[in-house]
Structure 1
């Protein structure tokens, strides 16, 4: 794809060999649907590709790079288009646009002070920082002159100043209130009487969103052939939708998984599919179409869903398909559904995001408190599985206090260790404490800080696992999940102890 061309020996010693992009005329990209262009033409000054019915591009004429750096960036984008999903490639294109406006755009070699200055500007956006890391790592891996491993390690240590994605998972959960759910169901039922193809389609969209909560890109990727009707020997009719997965790593085409749907929704989809074929012909592939029979874009689908939610009296800013996904996940968690099943139904790559619903739901906390929290037998069982007795900080000698580092954060004042003072614990402090009988947590300890630090570190493991394409069998992530649950249980024990002590003093 690339080659190095030696410049004349008369050039200054600081000059580097010129890098020339010699990629293919057309780059094959990952596509979700058959009606989406599968190649990017690299002979043009503007590279264009599509995803979700939206055009994405990188305009090389608009980027102010030096000639050699321009060739390197083209080679990197060709690599990104081949390896990553279209939207990830667009993230890299956006990063290159930001990079072209920095002093680094004038050419190689880059000095460390200049790189550090640029990183201070890029760290405001996590996507830009990730883009710079991937770009530099790619160049180092290919032995391109002007990029070295030591500088990459410096870049890797720079942290983004934006909100950690793991924090968003755990803090932004929202769902429909009971009265809002009733209003939405009423809106879904009202759509049954219309014979208009457009109205039936909109009603199918909101009904499907309520039952399976697909992402907008999953709505967009659905084909008529993904709808399946099954009749058994007793003439019972069952409906299945083969839902395309949105975020599965390393797949050239989206995997489709069967999802059972209700009879009422199945009948609506059957009516909708018949209407599509009558108007646009038997060969029409998309499940959701515009007025001309073309596939609806994610933007158009989002607008339809938002309109239906507003008509149902639900108007929450920046909440469309994600609101319905949170509502489904929250409802499953409230009913005691295991996290692995929630992750499977929502199409998550791991159970980390699904655990957020168990963490966020107040209903689960109330059920546990009423059913188990007041039970002395349950409390004894939990104590036997987790840690030693909860103690007061003031009653603990300073030399027994536990301190440690999680995710580069120094954390102390969490509890005491019952091991002899001269004996060193063979396990990693803080990480192993919350599942150790020798650990006596402080009633007012900084356990919430430990939980937040573990969540942030778990997200870093997830980010690294995403790069390797293996989240399912990632043991560090699973271990962190277990520890986070143990810390949560300790927080609950300490809370109950403090409440009981307060009641006794009243």
Structure 2
């Protein structure tokens, strides 16, 4: 009895060397691969399939052919009859889809980074923190009543403060590759596991600055939301749950901006 396995490298080459993914092969497939190695006299340190400039085209074609085989029979039949145009995915879109699917199913940042072949957890964290179930539940619970929305919004964050007030540490974070530092303070005592800035606007430990740069954060979130909608439309997934989640984040930021404006007006009236 023989056992065969093949080691698969990452999709991206990271800065660190990790153990590769080992896949067990049936004896029939192993025999074909061994014959291929023997026929072309491939050294053990060479790539098994060196596609060169055709690698992207080959992988994209393979992905779409396999996805089509996995699709429902009704869809395959309608495509074959010319009633529908087959949905095609690029390799990048497929990678994003896998990462978002893993994030929505509760996978850890380490698992996502492992599958995508990333050398750090930064990108994987973005996939996770852009899809928290709490934000989606909160968005549904807000309803459509504007008065109720404002009441809930006031419960989402802490007090509106000035830079001089001591309510914890200053919050610094990135959204859309732009750093945001002048938004408020965090009074949470332990180390927070959520992503700074993005998750703060719906947190009770967040104390927004009355004159903070909240509009800049809103612009960055709006740009990300438009990009997600564009990507979802490109893959014919207009019901992408990430859209609802980012819309909830947008609403949270808008609520803080309205609260800051109201507090500023009341303060000026008292003066």
Structure 1 length-normalised TM? 0.25
| Structure with greater Cα Rg | 1
Larger relative contact order (C-alpha < 8 A, sep ≥ 6)?
2
